[in-house]
Structure 1
Amino acid sequence: MLVQFYRHWREAFSGIPTAIWLLSLVSLVNRCGSMAVVFLSLYLTSRLDYSVEQAGYVLGCYGVGALLGTWVGGRLTDRVGYFSVMVWSLSLAGVVLILLVWLSHFAVVCAAVFALSSVSEGFRPANSVAIARYSPAEVRTRSVSLYRMSINLGWAVAPALGGLLVTLGWSWLFWVDGLTCFLAAGLLVWLFSPKSTRGFVTTEPVSSVFANKQDSTTLTASPYKDGPYLAFTLFTLLNALVFMQFVWTVPLFFKKEYLWDEQTIGLVTALNGLLVFAVEMPMIYKIEGRRSRLQFVRRGLLLYLAAFSVFLLPLSPLWAALIFILAISFGEMLVMPFSTNFAFAYASKGSAGSYMALYSIAYSVANIIAPLLGTQVIARWGFSVLWTLVSLLALLSMLGFWLLEKKAEPQTPTLDLKTSA
């Protein structure tokens, strides 16, 4: 069985372009140092002595900045190209992270966190366009999974390393995170300079089409006039509200209800990254094409529902946490790559950046609402009400994707991307 798993794991990487491997390397370097956001809610409540409500407002500022940064990043990607946007995003994020070491006043921290997410989240639409540009349609889902694999390997390292760095002092988190941003930007400049990318193969320009339209009508150039895509974005927002509780409020739950220290929380959180790193690629390779993308997304949402429902059961903290991590991890492996591929399939000629920006905006809006919703519900009614609420949101999102699938499931196209390196 292990031999078969290894064979699938190895075969899953076949055919993925060199450029995707290099983009994944840059992401790995950056994510290995990305522990500041992981521990941000704990930093605000433990180090700066903010109340849960105050921490929620700061995290909400992160979401507002992410929304602005994603929108601006998408527009800039269509105008100046993904390469410049990614380099500047990483570099400016490094500057803000290091500045956060000396900030403690509530209003100033809110402004700094807003600035951090504004510059860092501009990276997302640019990076999505870069992946689509360098990955042929037949390997696009696996290309997304490889990139996510690098993110999750970094996610496995960052919380565990962050938990150790906290024992040395909270400022170490921001210094290491900032320096790895600079390192990732340097790698990007070195690996994706015009001279380095001459041998890279890019996709041929072909417009997206609707699978259920026999005349192969191309999609509108604006995602804001594309009804099915707007519905997809809305349901993505709902499922993101559910998943974001893992980032923003579950660490608080572990701290306040289970009385775990930061190192234990970091190690448990790291299990998510390790699982996704080890399993997602061979799993995607095995199941891709067997069902529609939205069917896989719905199954992932069912696992989200199960994950948060576990906290409502009379289980020991260790067992509840382990079952939660298993369910949320496998749910993520189904929801994230297949919903991203769905978004790629809708990106039309000349507006790939805008389409991917709108998809990223759904997560940015969730980053505004999720921490505010989570912390306010916790402060007023407790964690149990929050877990019940997010379970219902997962169910609602499942229903939405089921209705959307009956209207339009786009074919897997090869995108026409108006970008320049």
Structure 2
Amino acid sequence: MKSLLKNYLNTFSGLSQEVWWLALITLINRAGTMVIPFLSLYLITDLNFSMSDVGWVMSAFGVGSVLGSWLGGKLTDKIGFYKVMVFSLIATGFLFIGLQYLKTFQLICLGIFIVMTVADMFRPAMFVALNTYSKAENKTRSLTLIRLAINLGFSAGPAIGGLIITSMSYDGLFWVDGITCIAAGVLLTNVLNPKKVKVLDSYKNLNPKSAYTDVPFIIFAIAMVLFGVVFLQYFSTMPIYYKERHFLTEFEIGVLLGLNGFVIFILEMPLIKWLENSKYTKTGLMTFGAILTGLSFIILNIFSWSGVLIIGMMLMTVGEMITFPFSNAFALERAKRGSQGEYMALYSIAFSLSHIFGHNAGLQMSGTIGFDNTWIVITLLALICVFLLMILKHALKTEKRKQLSQTRNPIV
């Protein structure tokens, strides 16, 4: 047992101090976003909004996320990741506090849009910071550590938020949420000021290529939108399926969803370290992860036994553990061809688009064509994602051959 624990801890070795600080800041920030899981409930119970109204508010949430990711990338390239991260964290804190004073439908839509625009400026800036503070051989594991922080934050946040609502009401939730974001921003200014920390990767492309003209990267981004739509079904449509088709209680659903976070926390870092040292390419690993995630849906139509839900959850979890870290690493590596902020913004936008369309599409389909047909459609989307990743792999091989040819036969 002692040896197993030592081997597990060794998977975290070699990561820079700055990456650990960034992970802690991310944990505080994500644990602090307690308003988000309770937003729909708050709008319906406290403000008496209709389901249709809530749908439009969530659309404003998604559009703000897309704009914030794009704007964060642009500003990161212009003024640097540090200033963007500090502004995003502290401004988001004050905006969350102010959100509780908005009561009408129009103001809530506008408020949520502004909050998410400012909040999601943090993401592309954080990716560039991570790239700066990581050695080349540690980038994928550094990204995995950040994912662990995000998962822990999202796990702790709702639990803490529920206690705050019970004892202090929703107003207290907005205050605590805002204060934690501001606290994360203040911590960042003290531990990650560029004047005080060591830069491990200062690469800058003097002739940057636009991410929007990089065809392989566009193919990759589209594949990630599809993967995001497939993955997000587990956090919107799937819980309803568990309850209506397999008659699981809320507690059983919570345990099943909690299994996802627990397995990621225990196994993701050792798995990523092992895969990093394997012969497999990032595109090959992403493809395998997408296949596993697609399989997690189709088996639900093959077997009626409720135990298959655990198998499906495990397939999705392993698929997620492989696809997300290596897609992050691929995006960071590719970003060196151009302006890093723009590349990482496009990567973030891909998942923002998934949020806009994924939840709503899954819920609408399950209500009109039923769960079985919905899982067939979702599996087809996963197959299209796999197909695009195979095209990406071929495009990268062609690109590499051209580069080798130009190196051997330079134009004089």
TM-score, normalized by the shorter chain, greater than 0.5? yes
Matched, 1:293 2:282: yes
Paired with 2:48 and 2:239, the residues of 1 have a C-alpha distance of 16
Shift of 1:42: 4.7
Relative distance call for 1:246 and 1:36 in structure 2 (3 A) is farther
- CA displacement, residues 246-267 of structure 1 (integer Å, 9 cap, x when unaligned): 3444455567775755x77666
Correspondences of 1:12-411 after superposition (within 5 Å): 12-44=11-43, 50-168=49-167, 169-197=169-197, 200-205=198-203, 221-251=209-239, 258=247, 260-261=249-250, 268-290=256-278, 291-309=280-298, 312=301, 313-316=303-306, 319=307, 322-348=310-336, 351-408=339-396
Query: Kindly tell me: are residues 175 and 371 of structure 1, through their superposed partners in 2, closer, same or farther at Cα, counting changes over 3 Å?
Result: farther
Q: Offset of 1:361 from its aligned partner?
A: 1.2
Q: Aligned residue for 2:408? A: none
TM-superposed deviation, 1:244:
2.4
Q: State the percentage of identical aligned residues.
A: 37
In the other structure, the counterpart of 2:406 is none
Q: Is the 8 A contact 1:220 1:226 kept in 2?
A: no
Distance change >3 Å, CA 255–CA 57, structure 1 → 2: farther
1:21-65 deviation line (CA, Å, top 9, x unaligned): 110111111122233323444545566555554433322221111
Question: Against the structure 1 CA distance between its residues 25 and 379, is the aligned structure 2 distance closer, same or farther, given a 3 Å change threshold?
Answer: same
Of structures 1 and 2, the one with the larger relative CO (CA 8 A, separation 6+) is 1
Q: CA deviation at 1:223?
A: 0.9
Q: State the TM-score, normalizing by the size of structure 2.
A: 0.85
| Cα distance in structure 2, aligned partners of 1:330 and 1:79 | 37
Greater percentage in helix: 2
SS where residue 16 of structure 1 aligns? coil
Structure 2 distance, partners of 1:309, 1:174, is 40
Q: Normalising to structure 1: TM-score of the pair? A: 0.83
Decide whether the 8 Å contact of 2:73 with 2:342 is kept in 1. Answer: yes
SS of residue matched to 1:348? helix
Count of residue correspondences: 395
Matched residue type, 2:68: G
Shift in alpha-carbon separation, 1:394–1:163, aligned structure 2, 3 A? farther
Pick closer, same or farther for the CA change 1:303–1:315 going to 2, 3 Å: same
Structure 1: 5+ residue stretches without partners: 208-217, 412-421
Q: Contact 1:162/1:173 (CA < 8 Å) preserved in 2?
A: yes
Which amino acid in the other structure matches residue 299 of structure 1?
A: F
**CA distance 1:359–1:36, change in 2 (3 Å):** same
> CA separation in 2, counterparts of 1:62 and 1:9?
38
Structure 2 unaligned runs (5+)? 401-412
